[in-house]
């Protein structure tokens, strides 16, 4: 059964390491201390380095009163943002990176309206089982190295983490709809090659 919270996920990883499980991140144990620090880091890394089907949002950005000399408009970023995947116009055109810039918690552009596709944080109940399994093995490799588990076992955990991540990515790709065909006249690459947008 898939884990329902972050403690259950951490305990699966600790069990692999043959380390006593925890009741919460505030437990007075080395395992709880390590889990409290590493869980969010490992999760954020896995979610942001790969584009998963279950943690991608597409929203219209809210325009703000922030100003900058080079750009006409400023937009606030969502609070759950992990990784920007694309910034798009009202017509659905993906903007090249020279047509917008991120600074702090804002995106600046000369486009009057903007949409953004991005990867966001998710809770364990939103994670499919194949992702949870890969996350558990990644955590086990991190926990094991920190909690003085034998090096040969940690090496095994790391190799399993690679295998499980590869399997999870393969499974997740089956959940994604096919990407729409992009006509050549709308190609960012082609416009850039021909000297930019007209």
CA atoms of 134 and 168, how far apart (whole Å): 7
**Section 151-155 average pLDDT:** 94
Distance CA 98, CA 15 (A): 48
Interval 152-164 mean pLDDT: 96
Q: Tell me, what's the pLDDT at 179? A: 61
The reported pLDDT for the residue numbered 77 is 96
Q: Which residue has the tokens 């490799």?
A: 141
Residue 21 neighbours by CB under 8 Å, 6+ apart: 11, 14, 15, 31
Res 198 pLDDT > 70? no
Domain boundaries, the chain: 6-51+122-173, 56-120
- The band of 189, judged by pLDDT with boundaries at 50, 70 and 90, is very low
**Sole residue written with tokens 């295998």:** 163
DSSP, res 178: P
Q: How far is CA 70 from CA 103, 110, 113, 159, 195, in A?
A: 13, 9, 17, 48, 20
Question: If you average pLDDT over every residue of the chain, what do you get?
Answer: 89
Question: pLDDT tens across 174-188, in order?
Answer: 887 766 554 544 445
| DSSP type of residue 165 | H
């Amino acid at each position: 059964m898939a884990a329902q919270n972050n403690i259950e996920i951490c305990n699966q990883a600790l069990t692999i390491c043959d380390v006593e499980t925890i009741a919460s991140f505030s437990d007075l144990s080395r395992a709880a201390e390590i889990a409290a620090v590493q869980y969010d880091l490992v999760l954020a890394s896995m979610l942001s380095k790969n584009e998963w089907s279950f943690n991608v949002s597409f929203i219209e950005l809210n325009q703000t009163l922030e100003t900058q000399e080079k750009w006409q408009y400023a937009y606030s970023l969502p609070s759950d943002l992990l990784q920007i995947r694309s910034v798009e116009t009202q017509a659905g055109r993906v903007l090249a990176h020279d047509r917008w810039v991120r600074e702090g918690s804002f995106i600046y552009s000369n486009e009057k309206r903007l949409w953004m596709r991005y990867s966001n944080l998710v809770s364990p109940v939103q994670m499919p089982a194949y992702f949870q399994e890969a996350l558990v093995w990644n955590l086990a490799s991190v926990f094991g190295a920190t909690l003085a588990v034998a090096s040969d076992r940690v090496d095994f955990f790391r190799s399993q983490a690679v295998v499980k991540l590869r399997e999870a990515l393969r499974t997740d790709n089956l959940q994604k709809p096919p990407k729409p065909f992009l006509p050549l006249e709308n190609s960012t690459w082609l416009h850039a090659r021909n000297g930019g947008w007209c």
